[in-house]
Structure 1
């Protein structure tokens, strides 16, 4: 019995999806090309014509790259891709960005065995090796857009980088294009264990907060961070070791506390996202959250730091602004 066109397409989708899950960038590209019209139609139906459609499709492509290892029905990958676009569009309309953090990707199906878990972890490590190949100018907006939880909008990324929103869009487009090339180049090389790196960074973040609360933040910075540590606002240096210590000590003294909620840990770029609790008698002393955006030197020490408050900064706390 001959197969109809729909059945043939599903079989071809399944073959390409399994190849993409095994790390074949070309297969993923073919999948995206096969379903581009359907994905664009979904975006147009929700957003209407405009530049947001192309942005959503580009974000969906990176999201598909990161999440393809978790596709449960390879033959139905077209519906899965359209769902990614639909969710992205709806969240964009609501004013938020539905970009799933890297740490949240390992949610396997109930019937997933060790092989599927290993496959998903290998995919994640492979992606991060390719991300590290990007220039710092392109790496930061891409990581913020696709791996952070609070600094994902074009406007917030523009604030962090001190550039116009249009420049953010341009850099993201360049980063996505270069990422595909870097992925192909890294497909056959060894990949660092990002899960292990993330766990170590989470421990480091908590030790840093503990040191701050016990009055040893300055000592920790001296021992563990670069002696040339610079606090940046955009690309401009606004302070160093002494300013950081003064700001942290002042906040801790009045009762401000930070709680770690999310970690992104690459070889050269680390992000700690924190919730902030203010003292009862000064509930608006600090904004409700802060992201520590840290660039590491060649030996893994924090070398450059940006502090970004994802929500409006209305108080007079010495905790440093963007």
Structure 2
């Protein structure tokens, strides 16, 4: 007997990835029709559909009317398609009329961490190729989520970012369609450990001991890259932190995303009171690991210091 939409939604909200896969397969044609009606034939329409599948992974637990999941999925695609036309918001969101999320909307990572399917999701992300996994983590779990920002962080053309994301989304969506019901490793413990490590490093850095952190957790030949800026080794990172401390800049860990040998920290940068625009409001630390030690750090500012305040027109 074929299961109805409502039953599949309930199962998906309980953590059954195969049920969500069945829902997406059932409604994929209608979702694609919506994208084509707004965007016409082309890669943008396929992007809108694949993005909607990732959004469904993140937000299926927030569907209040299981019988309305079809319109909910189509609304996500419609919003994604309109966003593509406007190019105003880089990350797709789903806000159909019957969806009323909390006033403080969770990040995609927070939504997944609260959802029962998070273990399957992170298992699936971990199965992607290193390049596909990196762009997926940046796109859906960081502030550097636009194609242009991802291209800057990864040092590749925007077209390459689009290609890798398309491949990753297809892999994730295909995995959902054939999802096994077997349990996957609980990611909570490893995620908590990464948070503790990050907080410990920031605490040491704020106490002037960042050089010790680098000696203990970086390879001696590690590379530091600042897109559009300097490039060097561990000494560049130590000098940069020392310069920030001397200027009175404080750093606070805000987000941690990890999978395999990719570790992302997002930090708030707090400028000194007497120079409130000294630095950008935040930084993304993309750390590529080898045997648990940093082999490459890319330091990226999603918002540049010069963009914090624009001069008033004359």
TM-score (norm 1): 0.77
Whole-angstrom CA distance in 1 between matches of 2:112 and 2:149? 27
Shift of 1:72: 4.0
Q: Deviations over 1:184-224 (max 9, x none)?
A: 78846653332333332222222222211211011122123
Whole-angstrom CA distance in 2 between matches of 1:134 and 1:12? 31
Q: Deviations over 1:16-68 (max 9, x none)?
A: 3345454344x4344224323443455456x5436433222111111212333
Shift of 1:140: 0.7
Which blocks of at least 5 consecutive residues in structure 2 are unaligned?
Answer: 94-105, 308-314
- 8 Å contact kept, 1:133–1:182: no
Pick aligned residue for 2:148 from 155, 173, 187: 155
For residue 293 of structure 1, give the secondary structure of its aligned residue in structure 2.
strand
Whole-angstrom CA distance in 2 between matches of 1:80 and 1:226? 48
Pick aligned residue for 2:133 from 118, 133, 139: 139
Shift of 1:168: 0.9
Shift of 1:230: 2.2
Whole-angstrom CA distance in 1 between matches of 2:218 and 2:181? 33
Shift of 1:180: 4.2
Whole-angstrom CA distance in 2 between matches of 1:270 and 1:158? 17
Pick aligned residue for 2:88 from 88, 91, 95: 95
For residue 105 of structure 1, give the secondary structure of its aligned residue in structure 2.
helix
Counterpart in 1 of 2:110?
104
Counterpart in 2 of 1:13?
5
Shift of 1:157: 0.8
Counterpart in 2 of 1:295?
288
RMSD: 3.2
Shift of 1:248: 0.6
Shift of 1:183: 5.9
- 8 Å contact kept, 1:141–1:171: yes
Q: Sort the Cα spacing of 1:187 and 1:242 in 2 relative to 1 into closer, same or farther, 3 A.
A: farther
Q: Sort the Cα spacing of 1:294 and 1:185 in 2 relative to 1 into closer, same or farther, 3 A.
A: farther
- 8 Å contact kept, 2:50–2:173: no
Shift of 1:281: 4.1
Pick aligned residue for 2:70 from 78, 101, 104: 78
**Where do residues 161-172 of structure 1 align in structure 2 (5 Å cutoff)?**
161-172=154-165
Pick aligned residue for 2:121 from 117, 124, 127: 127
**Where do residues 25-44 of structure 1 align in structure 2 (5 Å cutoff)?**
25=18, 27-40=19-32, 42-43=34-35
Shift of 1:292: 0.8
Indicate whether 1:56 and 2:48 are aligned. yes
- 8 Å contact kept, 1:132–1:268: no
TM-score (norm 2): 0.79
Shift of 1:15: 3.5
Which blocks of at least 5 consecutive residues in structure 1 are unaligned?
Answer: 1-7, 108-116, 316-322
Counterpart in 2 of 1:4?
none
Whole-angstrom CA distance in 2 between matches of 1:91 and 1:263? 27
Whole-angstrom CA distance in 2 between matches of 1:251 and 1:101? 28
Q: Deviations over 1:275-299 (max 9, x none)?
A: 212224444432222111112223x
Whole-angstrom CA distance in 2 between matches of 1:207 and 1:102? 25
Deviates more, 1:287-296 or 1:86-95: 86-95
Deviates more, 1:255-264 or 1:280-289: 280-289
- 8 Å contact kept, 1:126–1:183: no
Whole-angstrom CA distance in 2 between matches of 1:52 and 1:177? 14
Whole-angstrom CA distance in 1 between matches of 2:289 and 2:131? 14
Counterpart in 1 of 2:302?
310
- 8 Å contact kept, 2:21–2:176: no
Counterpart in 2 of 1:268?
261
